A = this chain, B = another copy of it.
Amino acid sequence: MTKRNLNIIYLAILFVFAILFLPNFALAQEHPNLILTKAGVEKIRAELGNVHLFDASLAALKKEVDTEIALGIETPIPKDYSGGYTHARHKKNWFLLQKAGVLYQILDDKKYAIYVRDMLMQYEKMYKTLPLHPKTRSYARGKLFWQCLNDANWLVYVSQAYDCIYNFLSKEERNRLETNLFRPFADHISVNSPQFYQRVHNHSTWGNAAVGMIGLVMNDQELIDRALYGIKDMNLDKTAKDDDGGFINKDGKAGFLANIEEPFSPDGYYNEGPYYQRYAMYPFLIFAVGLQNVRPDLKIFEYKDGVLLKSINALLNLSDADGDFFPLNDGQKGMSYYNSALISAVDISYYYGGHDSGLLSIAEKQGKVLLADSGLEVALAIKNGKAKPFDKKSINLTDGPEGKQGGVAILRKESIELVFKYAAQGSSHGHYDKLSYSLYDNGNEVLQDYGLARFVNIEQKGGGNYLKENKTWAKQSIAHNTLVQNETSHFQGKYEIGSKHHSDLYFYDDKDGEVQIASAKENNAYPGTEIHRTMAIIKNEKFEKPFLLDIMKINSDSENQYDLPFYFMGHVMKVNFEYESPAFSVLGEKNGYQHLYVEGKGKPSSEGTIVSWLGRNNFYTLTTATDTSDELLFTRLGANDPKFNLRRDAGFMIRRKNAKNTTFVSIIESHGSYSPVTESAVNSNSSISSLKLVHDDEHYTAVNISDVNGDEFMMIISNTDSNKTSPHKLQINGRDYQWSGPYHFK
């Protein structure tokens, strides 16, 4: 036999032994070993009292749990939707169980173990005979909660609690819990609810992690496999849809690994957007840590080229200067990296990733660490002065499992942040807003993305669930800063169509100190119409702050009406055109237009159009190269909103009728400031005196900018060749321009 063959035999024998003895070996596995480990707990106990951030986090937790222990255990019969009493109580319980478990391990005080045990036993007693939750709205009803999703949340946390008191319980107690509570619980949310469990979706990620986590504690290989790979031999109706209008399982993929594989791009961008990434992050990472501890052989953190850790970096980059996530697709504003899921994420990323000292500064701001091995290490590193600022730079994140379905570009310069979305549909939480953008100045919205239409967990508003205006307004194209053709949404607002397409990056370049630029094309939103949008953040010494240049070139095989809205945040200061304030009228009938009032209607002056507003104590000016035949509209959200589900936000819109090929060119400047305390208005006027489209054909689009001091700037885009080194030559108004690469600015 060759040496190679010997090796193979040797490996084969090893493999057989592994299969034979792994279960037995594993049966003897120690506890805790999921998030906390035995060794980690020892280290934590040794450091108690020495590491401020850790001690403070522990003290806060202890105070909370002690208060609740004093109040007693409550496990009411399930009854309410989100926001209602029984929902809130069981939600509180899952956190309390997990926290009490951690306290038992760290403080070695039996009262916490007893609390966990007693509550679990109450659940065991109730669950045995518990029917489906009485509320019927969900496509997959849970038992403790109205939807399986929340049952899965419960199990992800409670598995950790069980792990923490595993050794405290008698074998008989463990049997009771596993037989009457955990196993049937895991089955209900998986084999009994495949439409919830067997898909690629944040719901399923929770489901998979829940089943996997309890599987790891119970050392139940079947459950672990079900978690990693989905329910064996289960096939679902590929045309079925969930509550949000998304396909349940079009491709037949399922399981935790598929849920890593599919929604994350190689850059770590999560297809549903940052709000849902934040939500899915916790089960992704907590289960990954559990796997890392129990099944290090899986090398879960290296899976798909380390995408789980990359995704944390992507997610942090998808937040504004204050740490609030950009509300791409369905996203509730105000959700930020202060959310507890991000506390875990930051600590886990530091510990299992490259010990990036920038993460420590975020952990410092969060003011809390995970009470686990990773959290201790983070707190220690901060104590040792290792924290550095987390430096958010411009970044281009691809979308799609292979990074080939468009993406999101974030251009940053000084206080200005542009979020330019040219991604795929974003699953059932996606909005119909190809080539849309939002603009931020120092963490404040200058031009907003509306986000979702929902008051999450506020029972009074539709049970805390999605409101109907999420479909009638928030998802529609007109709710976004992008082009709308003939008052219809992209892809007719249909998920079946939208989910087949994505925009394409044309070029991206953030290497230049003066111009950071992203350019993308969308050819499917309106069949027969090609939209090419280029957005640049330009920093030039002639301007107080970096400004946004937006060039949107449209080629169509038909005549259309084009609407380009600007959802500015602030109070109108001044415009340069005449307009009427009509008796209040509603802008349209459907596709979101039915929610917009017309507050003003005018025609541009021959000089182009200027609108300035006062935002959060800063002045902003939109300068845009309009035609005198355009219509200019001031809009106000709130029409056909009898339940006050929408905010009464302002908008400005350019409407261009009977146009085929056309180009919109706009600049948005942030300038000056106003203080209501000093009452001084500084630099309250725009620095731009004119903005003109000076050349526009198939190959090139050129824009001339003049400032108030007579300085001139020219931006030329090559529309057909984005090669970085291609040489270009163009004559404009008798002057020759020569450059290489897809754009020229001077």
A597 x B584 contact (CB < 8 A):
yes
Q: Does A464 contact B (CB under 8 A)?
A: yes
A636 x B612 contact (CB < 8 A):
no
A333 x B676 contact (CB < 8 A):
yes
Q: Which of A154-162, A334-342, A440-448, A547-555 contacts B (4 or more CB under 8 A)?
A: A334-342
User: With A335-B676, A581-B642 as given contacts, are A458 and B681 in contact (CB-CB < 8 Å)?
Assistant: yes
B457 x A339 contact (CB < 8 A):
no
User: With A612-B460, A678-B340 as given contacts, are A684 and B83 in contact (CB-CB < 8 Å)?
Assistant: yes
B460 x A574 contact (CB < 8 A):
yes
Q: Does A459 contact B (CB under 8 A)?
A: yes
Q: Does A497 contact B (CB under 8 A)?
A: no
Q: With both chains docked as a complex, state the minimum distance between the C-beta of A51 and any C-beta of chain B, in angstroms.
A: 25
CB-CB < 8 A to A339: which residues of B?
677-678
Q: Does A17 contact B (CB under 8 A)?
A: no
Interface size on A, residues (CB 8 A): 54
User: With A340-B678, A680-B88 as given contacts, are A638 and B599 in contact (CB-CB < 8 Å)?
Assistant: yes
**Alpha-carbon distance A680/B94, docked complex (angstroms):** 14
A83 x B681 contact (CB < 8 A):
yes
B573 x A679 contact (CB < 8 A):
no
Query: Interface digits, A326-360 against B, CB 8 Å rule (1 contact, 0 not)?
Result: 00000011111011100000000000000000000
**Alpha-carbon distance A642/B578, docked complex (angstroms):** 11
Taking each of A333, A458, A634, which has the highest tally of chain B beta carbons within 10 Å of its own beta carbon?
Answer: A458
Q: Which one of B338, B634, B676 lies within 8 Å of A677 (CB-CB)? A: B338
B684 x A458 contact (CB < 8 A):
yes
Interface of A is mostly: loop
Q: Does A577 contact B (CB under 8 A)?
A: no
Q: Does A392 contact B (CB under 8 A)?
A: no
- Measured CB to CB, the nearest residue on chain B to A336 is B677
Q: Does A648 contact B (CB under 8 A)?
A: yes
User: With A599-B638, A636-B648, A644-B572 as given contacts, are A457 and B83 in contact (CB-CB < 8 Å)?
Assistant: no
CB-CB < 8 A to A638: which residues of B?
599, 636
Q: Does A229 contact B (CB under 8 A)?
A: no
- Measured CB to CB, the nearest residue on chain B to A637 is B648
Q: With both chains docked as a complex, state the minimum distance between the C-beta of A98 and any C-beta of chain B, in angstroms.
A: 15
Q: Does A614 contact B (CB under 8 A)?
A: yes
Q: Does A507 contact B (CB under 8 A)?
A: no
Q: Which one of B91, B459, B684 lies within 8 Å of A684 (CB-CB)? A: B459
**Alpha-carbon distance A167/B458, docked complex (angstroms):** 70
Residues of A372-430 whose CB lies within 8 A of B: none
Query: Interface digits, A602-643 against B, CB 8 Å rule (1 contact, 0 not)?
Result: 000000000010100000000000000000001010111111
Q: Does A132 contact B (CB under 8 A)?
A: no
CB-CB < 8 A to A184: which residues of B?
none
A456 x B684 contact (CB < 8 A):
no
What are some 29 contacts across the A-B interface (CB < 8 A)? A88-B680, A333-B676, A334-B676, A335-B676, A336-B676, A336-B677, A340-B678, A456-B679, A457-B679, A457-B680, A457-B681, A458-B573, A458-B674, A459-B681, A460-B612, A461-B573, A464-B681, A571-B647, A572-B643, A572-B644, A581-B640, A584-B584, A584-B597, A599-B638, A599-B644, A600-B642, A636-B638, A636-B648, A648-B648
New A-B pairs, 6, CB < 8 Å, besides A88-B680, A339-B678: A335-B676, A339-B677, A458-B681, A460-B685, A461-B573, A464-B681
What 9 A-B pairs are tightest by C-beta distance, nearest first? A334-B676, A584-B584, A572-B644, A581-B642, A460-B574, A460-B573, A456-B679, A458-B681, A338-B677
